[in-house]
Structures are given as structure tokens and as C-alpha cells.
Chain A
């Protein structure tokens, strides 16, 4: 029963102020329910914001439309250090208070941009025997700062950082990455719908539709690992691209 009019209608509903969509490096605090549920549950009490000892959590301002007052983490400014305090204070369960193990947190997943990561550039230089940048530098900061070094992030060929599905999405790597002007590693938030799929229509039909369960294991486990394994250190293999288009089908 899809035609021009239903699509027009959907489009109208989807451009309303309830919109919340997937945006790189903008995360919900650890333990947050999937975005739709989170927006229903969070009463904007700011308790999680107050309790965060690192001031990682920021309060959404007016430019975030109706999400004003809800908590966000912008790992480029300040990552989450997985101290696991914020979820315990949440009065409505918007952040899961049963979560106590930092390892189980899945706020998102780190994705390395192989074209700007200093180590990948260095490796390219080495392999090609020419200096592509002229300023080859060895980094490895993300590997060193990750709270789950060698689990969430591993070094291939002792030099190329690769993120695995154990990544919690805490964003410490993003905060510390020295690559300029843009960080070479970014966090892709978990459980957020893409822009055009988010308005009122998107929310209701997705939340209460059958797809809810399915979305829970989107790009996790095996499937994610598969994606990740496509990354190879030598640059002959295809480039890994985080598949954001697929969000459409998943949410």
C-alpha cells in the first residue's frame, strides 16, 4: 500500500521536530536504550550529567530540537571513561542500571579512516617506498589509550590499528587521536536511525513494529566481525567502508 501519497505523508511527518538521527561522534551515555526507547524514557533530569566525574556528558541544547535537555556525549571533546556511574542514577531506566561491566557497554563503534590515520599513511609510505605525505609519523595513540587494548583494538602487522567488535564506543581513542584537521578515528553511534527515517512516522512504526527485535543485533557479532575482517593491512584489498546506508534496513 505504498504510493505517492503515503510517501508524501511519511515525508511530512518525518520532518517534524521529534527528529533525532544518526550523527557521527554524538553518542548517548553508556547503557542507553535504543534511541526511540531512550527518547520515551528519558525525563531530562540531568542526574547522569551531574554525576559524570569527567564532565563527558553534555546537555542537548535548543539546536537539538525536542531532545533539548537529554544527555549526549561528544567524544571529540570528551570521551566516556567507563566509570559506570551514570547508569546507576537514572530514575527511569533510560540508562540500564543493571549494566556494571564496562566491557559490556556498546555506545557505538570506532571506525578508523585509513586515508588519514597516521599509521596507515606511514605504512603506505613504507610499502610504496615513497613518501606520500612527506611527514610520515608513527602514532598508535588509539591503541595505547583504549581501555581494552588488544581486545577492542588490535595492531595488525604491529603497526596498523584495527577495531574489533569488542569496542565499547567509549571514544577515548577519538578524543586523543592526534590526526589533524579531522580525527582519523570516529565513533559511529549505536541504535540511531538515519536522518530521513526518524520523524514521527519512523519512530512509531519502527518502535512498535516487528522490526524492533531485529534492530537489536544490527551489525554486531559475526556480521560485524565479517565486515571488520575485510580490512587488510596491505592496500590491495578493497577499502573498508562502514556501511551506513544499511541503517535504513536495520532500523
Chain B
């Protein structure tokens, strides 16, 4: 259970950060500022590539500020894969909390059974949703997909709470998603989230991916059962669905004896 501990630590630190950064700003320390739609640390600016892409389409122009702010996220994406989702996204932590709650309440398992083509169905819905969203957004000419970016909403709400002491209506959206999450396993991340889908376009085969490094294993299927994105980690580590959470690596019993399923760079 090693990777999971680091991952939890990163997630909890992130949640801490989304509340702590506005506090810093209230005390006029501006080293880090912004929300998960866009933030900067010192002089390094980062922005959600989808958000910036939307404003490029809407305004029909590209300027150096836009390009400058997506460099870091895209390089991270190319190097480390979609680690944003499983290691930092506050929504993912909440969704995992929902699964945990179900386990604690001893409700019956709700994760769908793995099947060969479930990921194709997922991908289809995701791409259609993103595409429809972008079309709608282009017609409106306003980056409206940001209004349904779960991590963005959570972190702006955190900022609003700390700085202005109230919450706004968008929180209802996240609350509804989480409620649904209680009944449908990771449905937002698997089927809809435009942020995650757009990020996965920048996934490179050469970056960090899960691979089976040994020819054969005991074929216990623990990794398949553990994967939250419903893919087969042994063969599909390069898939756009994989968010490098490492749950499969943790689950693999053969790893104890000899490296079998590992994160590798190519």
C-alpha cells in the first residue's frame, strides 16, 4: 500500500492548499495565488489547458499569456501522465471518499464488472460530451465549460469562502455530482469531466505509464479489479483513461516477490 499513502498525502495537501492559499492572500502574501483554473507560484503561471483553449476559441486569437500559462501543465502531463486527476484533483478525493463511505456503510459493491469494451463506451461518452461542450461554448462565445469544471468550482468556492465568507450557487452543482457519485461509481471522471478528457489528449506513451514488466504473472486479476478507471492495467497502461493513480501497482501481489506491474518511463 505504498503508492496510495503518497497519493493521499498529495491529495490532502492540495485540499489544504486550496484553503490556505486564499488565507495567505488575505494576509497579503502573494507568492502563490489563484485557483485550480489558473494559479501561479512565484513567476511560474499555470492554467487549466482546457480553460485557456476555450478562451482561444471564443476570442479567436492566441496570445503569449495564454501560451505561457499552459506550458507547465502540458509538460507535466507529457512527463508524468494524467497525475493531476488522481494525485491532486480535489473532486477525485471527494469521489474516493464516497466509495469509502459506501464501504463503511457496508452497502453492496457498486463498481461495475470489468468488461473488454467498457472503456470504449466511456471514451465515446467523454469525447462526445467534450465536443458538444466545446461547440456550445463556441456558439456562446464564453468559456462556459469552466462553470462545470469540478476541481475549478471546488477551488474557487474555497477561495470565496475564505475571502468573502459565503458560498455561491456553483457548490450545488458539485454537491449533486457527489450525491450521484454515491450511487454511480466514479461516473463524472469516467464519463464526463471535460477537464480530465482534455488533459488526456496530452498523454504521451513515453511519459510515466503503468506497464507489466514481467512476461507472465499469476493472473489473479487484482489489478483489473482495483482500477478505478475500468481498464486493464496489464495491457492498457498507455490508455487515455489511466490517471496514474497507482492503485493497480499497489494491488498486484506479485510485486512483493519481483517487479511485475510498475510505473515505467520509456
Contacts and interface: CB of A to CB of B under 8 A. Distances in A.
Contacts of B66: 91-93
A81 to B, nearest CB: 14
Contact of A47 (B34, B55, B140): B34
Interface residues of A, number: 36
Q: Is the interface of B mostly helix, strand, loop or mixed?
A: helix
A223 interface: no
A39 B141 CA distance: 8
Contact of A89 (B21, B40, B54, B140): B40
Interface in A16-74: 18, 36-37, 39-47, 49-51, 53, 55, 58-59, 61-62, 66, 68-69
Contacts, number: 121
B83 to A, nearest CB: 21
A194 interface: no
A45 B34 contact: yes
A69 B168 CA distance: 9
Given A41-B58, A42-B55, A91 B147 contact: no
Given A46-B34, A50-B34, 7 more contacts: A40-B142, A41-B58, A44-B152, A45-B39, A53-B28, A62-B169, A68-B169
A203 interface: yes
B156 A37 contact: no
Given A68-B170, A89-B34, A91-B52, A37 B163 contact: no
Interface in A168-189: none
What 7 A-B pairs have minimum CB-CB distances, sorted nearest first? A45-B38, A40-B58, A45-B37, A43-B51, A47-B34, A91-B69, A40-B59
B79 interface: no
A69 B141 contact: no
B39 A47 contact: yes
A223 B69 CA distance: 40
A103 interface: no
Contacts of B22: 50
B30 interface: yes
